[in-house]
Amino acid sequence: MTGAPVAARPLAASGAAPGSALRRSRGGAYWQAAPFAILFLLFFILPLLLTIVVSFWRYEDYVLTPDFTLDSYREVFEGCIARLPDLCVTFSTYLSTLRFALLAWVSTLILGFGIAYFLAFHVRTVPMQMALFLLCTVPFWTSNIIRMVAWVPLLGRNGLVNQGLQAVGLTRAPLDWLLYSEFAVVLAFVHLYTLFMMVPIFNSMARIDRALIEAARDAGASGWQTLWNVVIPLCKPGIVIGSIFVLTIVMGDFVTVGIMGGQQIASIGKVIQVQMSYLQFPIAAANAVVLLGIVLLMIWALTRLVDIRREL
């Protein structure tokens, strides 16, 4: 009887040690995450909250008045309901931006998936994969503006493409739609953002067990059947992540639209940039909030397709 309390004390002490160690590890994890959390709060959450607040301010004759009014949102959609079923300027601009985003998304998905598939399944050695992957990043060693300006001597009326087409007899006159057009805008988007689609897809493909590919071939599946039933389902997380990258960047891009569109094509990012240049901060903030809502809906729809946290 006298030995029982003595035996119980070590057990209690040994039981307390793991709990305190767990609390210490959690405290250390919180301290490690604190710098990033502070930066996230200062440079993302706080500016976002300020944008939402400013969207409700009053704007008159270049004077901002802190107030709660819906005038900016009314101005954004002014006359749109009355003109239905015709589209107002605001709806047309948003649809134009969505069209650019979808065209860029489809193009980058096809190119990014093809390049990632080649690197993952047809390049056997890791050093060669890394070398080719590094080659894909070469355009990113210069700024976006330089890469866009580089298209001007290629696609202009007297550019290399038009001269080549006329030299081989495919065209009799220069093609005006190659530059400063919607085609040029989408081409620049594909040039700038294909890597953002390719990297997540390549990461997903690199994690696929090659035994699954061999099993599908042994079962008599063709190359297309293996691609559709094995590779693509296992690459869904990478496809969704790459799609989020491309869609969110393209939806807010205004520099590419301005340069490659010759300042003649409208997008919601361009509208916000012009409103900011005229110091119309409340209506620009209102447009930014509406654009943010549309982008968040797109991200929500994509994440409904795949549980990224579970798949990763």
> What pLDDT digit, counting tens, does each position of 15-70 carry?
445 566 666 667 677 888 888 889 989 998 999 999 999 999 988 877 778 888 88
Q: How many domains does the chain have?
A: 1
Three-state secondary-structure class, residue 59: strand
- With respect to residue 164, please indicate whether it lies within any of the assigned structural domains: yes
Instruction: Look at residue 56 and tell me if it is in a domain.
Output: no
Q: What is the pLDDT of residue 58?
A: 87
- Token couple for 171: 């065209």
Q: Residue 12: what pLDDT?
A: 46
Extract the residue ranges of the chain whose pLDDT is less than 50. Answer: 1-2, 4-16
Q: Is 49 a domain residue?
A: no
Place of tokens 């709990």: 19
Q: What is the pLDDT of residue 16?
A: 47
Q: Decide if 5 is inside a domain.
A: no
Read off the tokens for 74. Answer: 């009314």
Domain limits for position 273: 85-311
Which contiguous run of DSSP H or E holds residue 63? strand 63-65
- DSSP characters over 224-246: HHHIIIIIHHHTHHHHHHHHHHH
Place of tokens 């330089």: 146
- For position 147, what pLDDT does the model report? 87
Crossing angle of the two packed helices 268-277 and 281-305, in degrees rounded to 10: 150
pLDDT at 17: 55
The whole-number pLDDT of residue 1 equals 45
Query: Of all helices (H) and strands (E), which one includes residue 193?
Result: helix 182-206
With contact defined as beta carbons under 8 Å apart, do 145 and 255 qualify? Answer: yes
Task: Output the CA–CA distances (angstroms, integers) from residue 312 to 116, 135, 243, in the order listed.
Answer: 18, 27, 16
- Distance between CA atoms of 119 and 108, rounded to whole angstroms? 16
Can you tell me the distance from the alpha carbon of 249 to that of 40, in angstroms, rounded to the nearest whole number? Answer: 19
List 60's β-bridge partners, or say none: 63
Tokens of 217: 């071939």
117: CATH? 1.10.3720.10
CB atoms within 10 A of CB 156: 17
**Amino acid symbol at 190:** V
Work out the angle between the directed axes of helices 236-252 and 89-117 (0-180°, nearest 10).
Answer: 140
Asked if residue 28 is part of any domain, the answer here is no
Q: Is residue 35 part of a domain?
A: no
| In-domain check, residue 104 | yes
Res 25: pLDDT? 66
d(CA 55, CA 59): 10
Within-domain flag for 57 = no
